[in-house]
């Protein structure tokens, strides 16, 4: 990408008030919107782990060939910084769909789904390396985590996550939702087939620059959340762009397959 086309995306290193990492560590970022209502959560970066090469260094993914012992150590680091027991981590086998499942006990990634919801003291975690991660909470112990790639986004997983929280008894107008670090409208270039899918739903999220076509996953998900009943001030939809910031984030678009993955996690139960 030439300088003339350089995106105006959020690469400022934790500047301002939007994203914070507690203490001196740079491994886990917090979103003030969730912190303000006392919800324990985090979005990992690639910094502060033990993995090497294309996985350097805080890789939390286990499907792209990193040494499992290194992933274990990285997860231990995240758990220690964040104050949770790794045995409480609950994941699904992510398949780029829109299914949100209710979790009542810790689980490894056996169930196929892209979202989870719970009111229990579980650490719901989703993996990503450009896809949007969504964390939602009502401030009363009900939480959800979802993985929204472009397919999951168009299938409406954000809507499904809100509905699942409501089924658990959440008041939709109290739900806060945060989009995690992911590929921004500055960098998410698509071909015509993908552009057409988005344009059919919302032409405003498709843009053209210098003969290339881009889609704004952030705006699309934000609109889904508002349509589901969330208040605009309860949505944080301007995360850092993973492709723009190679120091802090993995990016499938930038670096290709067989790289590390970030973990977005949120903890339910009584605050
Ligand atoms: Zn970008």
**What is the Å distance from ligand 1's center to 208 Cα?**
15
Q: What's residue 2's pLDDT?
A: 33
Q: What's residue 108's pLDDT?
A: 86
Confidence check: pLDDT of 14 > 80: no
Each residue of 158-178: pLDDT tens digit? 999 999 999 999 999 999 999
Q: Given the DSSP bridges, would you call strands 235-236 and 206-209 parallel, antiparallel or unpaired?
A: unpaired
Q: What mean pLDDT is reported for the chain?
A: 92
**What is the Å distance from ligand 1's center to 192 Cα?**
20
Dump the DSSP string for 155-195: HTHHHHHHHHHHHTT--GGG-EEEEPSB--TTT-EE-HHHH
**What is the Å distance from ligand 1's center to 108 Cα?**
32
**What is the Å distance from ligand 1's center to 16 Cα?**
18
**What is the Å distance from ligand 1's center to 181 Cα?**
10
Burial class (CB in 10 A: 0-12, 13-18, 19+), 146: buried
Q: The tokens of 222 are what?
A: 């934000």
Compute the distance between CA of residue 81 and CA of residue 75 in angstroms, rounded to an integer.
Answer: 10
Task: Give the chain's domains with CATH numbers.
Answer: 26-267 (3.60.140.10)
Confidence check: pLDDT of 10 > 60: no
**What is the Å distance from ligand 1's center to 188 Cα?**
7
Compute the distance between CA of residue 142 and CA of residue 124 in angstroms, rounded to an integer.
Answer: 11
**What is the Å distance from ligand 1's center to 102 Cα?**
33
Q: Rg for the chain (alpha carbons), in Å?
A: 17
Average pLDDT over residues 30-42: 95
Average pLDDT over residues 95-120: 95
**What is the Å distance from ligand 1's center to 180 Cα?**
13
**What is the Å distance from ligand 1's center to 14 Cα?**
15
- 202 secondary structure, DSSP code: -
Identify the CA nearest to 178 among candidates 153, 156, 145: 145
**What is the Å distance from ligand 1's center to 101 Cα?**
31
Each residue of 110-120: pLDDT tens digit? 899 999 999 99
Please give the model's pTM, rounded to 2 decimal places. Answer: 0.93
Dump the DSSP string for 52-83: -GGG-S----SSSS--HHHHHHHHHHHHHHHT
Contact 44, 27 (CB under 8 A): yes
**What is the Å distance from ligand 1's center to 225 Cα?**
22
**What is the Å distance from ligand 1's center to 7 Cα?**
6
Q: The tokens of 165 are what?
A: 């929280």
**What is the Å distance from ligand 1's center to 57 Cα?**
21
Average pLDDT over residues 93-104: 96
Compute the distance between CA of residue 182 and CA of residue 141 in angstroms, rounded to an integer.
Answer: 26
Query: In Å, what is the CA distance from 2 to each residue of 6, 95, 209?
Result: 6, 34, 12
């Amino acid at each position: 990408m030439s300088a003339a086309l350089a995106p105006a995306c959020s690469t400022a290193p934790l500047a301002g008030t939007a994203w914070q990492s507690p203490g001196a560590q740079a491994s886990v970022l917090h979103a003030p919107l969730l912190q303000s209502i006392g919800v324990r959560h985090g979005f990992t970066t690639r910094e502060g782990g033990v993995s090497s090469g294309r996985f350097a260094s805080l890789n939390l993914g286990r499907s792209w060939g990193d040494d499992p012992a290194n992933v274990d150590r990285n997860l231990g680091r995240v758990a220690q910084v964040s104050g949770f027991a790794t045995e409480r981590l609950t994941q699904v086998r992510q398949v780029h769909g829109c299914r949100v499942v209710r979790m009542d006990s810790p689980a490894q990634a056996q169930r196929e789904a892209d979202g989870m919801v719970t009111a229990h003291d579980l650490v719901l975690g989703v993996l990503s390396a450009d896809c949007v991660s969504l964390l939602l909470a009502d401030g009363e112990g009900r939480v959800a985590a979802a993985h929204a790639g472009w397919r999951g986004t168009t299938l409406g997983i954000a809507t499904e996550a809100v509905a699942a929280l409501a089924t658990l008894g959440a008041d939709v107008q109290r739900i806060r939702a945060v989009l995690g670090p992911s590929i921004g409208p500055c960098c998410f270039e698509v071909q015509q087939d993908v552009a057409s899918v988005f344009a059919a739903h919302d032409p405003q999220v498709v843009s053209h620059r210098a003969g290339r076509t881009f889609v704004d996953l952030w705006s699309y998900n934000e609109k889904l959340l508002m349509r589901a009943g969330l208040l605009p001030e309860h949505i944080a939809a301007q995360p850092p762009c993973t492709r723009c910031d190679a120091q802090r984030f993995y990016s499938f678009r930038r670096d290709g397959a067989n790289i590390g993955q970030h973990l977005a996690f949120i903890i339910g139960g009584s605050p």
